Amino acid sequence: MKTISGSTYIKGKKLGSGTFGTVYKVTRKLDGKTFALKSFPPETEMDLGILREISIMKIFQGNDEYVMNLVDIVLSEGNVGIIMKCYSSDLFHAITNNLLDYQKRDSITCQLLKALSFLKRNGVLHRDIKPENILIDENFKPVLADFSLSKVFTGVCKKGTHTGKIATATYRAPEVVAKRPYSFPSDAWSLGVVIYEMYINETLSFNKDKEALNFLLRKIQKIKDTPICNIIKGLLRVDSKTRLTPLQALRGPMFNSDYISPVIWKTTKKCVVSEEIREWCSEFETKKEVTAWAAQTYYTRVDNSTALHSVALACKMFETELLDYEEYPDYPKEEIQILQGMNYNLFI
């Protein structure tokens, strides 16, 4: 199995599976090092979650800011996947098996606050923070993983304008439960639930988000007045406008950190859109200006791309309502071509 870097990997045992893919242990033939391969179903058209995850991990490739690091990409006939560092466990396993003492909990909390601060500073909303999506190594260093539900805030959408259900029911913020517009504070709420689970040394599970919300609001009124509990209560404020931010938590008395997250990604601020792209946007009845910007970017940067397919892919990445692509038989092939031409990052 070859990757875009030219390396060859040998697929090993299955490590797990989720909504958007199956994870395997793989070995790099060149040096015998082991990694994890998240393999996506070989379909004629890539799922939106796959495109999101590949794009965001490409943005963060080479960083060391407590988010999953992309090693390589598999993109050959019948195979699509991302190769990452192989982690020994996740936070769900650590909590349920009582592996965390107070020192480890505090350290993980601090590092996850840094991870979330890093995402926010670079305009990325994770939207599915939970213990299963936080991997840990043998030294209990955590990384945020699974960006298949993530969104990037662009230069034309900086305020909370996303709607709809996101994340797992237990970790949904009040504004998400109420189906109101949400933004970065919704991730802070989800992390607050995770930190609370570490604090009580027990994972929570609710099928209905309103039940989870009511449970948490009752419980946080009873927790002690300690530095870690004050962080939990701050992250779990109902009003998103007054909710504690990750950076505020880091600056507070518990950690007293001067951490400043690096900016490695800047969104497009403006774009001149051609009449041809505008016409196709009108045909597709697009609602967001960023869709036209993205389509123009794809069309300009990628050789032999068409205006039609550039707008179709931009709709998939940025519009709320997904299109039916069955009437465009050539679209799947050009989707791959545009992804490659954009260096595997479709966000702008």
Annotated active-site positions, please? 128
Question: 67 in helix, strand or coil?
Answer: strand
Quickly tell me which residue has 């192989």 as its tokens. Answer: 86
The secondary structure of 229-295 as a DSSP string is HHHHHHHT-SSTTTSPPHHHHHHSTTT-------------------HHHHHHHHHTT---HHHHHHH
Question: 40 in helix, strand or coil?
Answer: strand
Query: Strands (DSSP E) along 85-211, which ranges?
Result: 89-90, 124-125, 134-136, 142-144, 151-152
Contact 4, 73 (CB under 8 A): yes
Rounded-to-integer distance, Cα 80 and Cα 51, Å: 10
Contact 126, 172 (CB under 8 A): no
Rounded-to-integer distance, Cα 34 and Cα 71, Å: 11
Rounded-to-integer distance, Cα 195 and Cα 246, Å: 12
With CA atoms as reference, report the closest residue to 298 among 263, 338, 259.
338
Letter for the amino acid at 229?
Answer: C
Contact 87, 220 (CB under 8 A): no
Contact 63, 69 (CB under 8 A): yes
What is the signed CA dihedral for 310, 314, 317, 319, rounded to 10 degrees?
-150
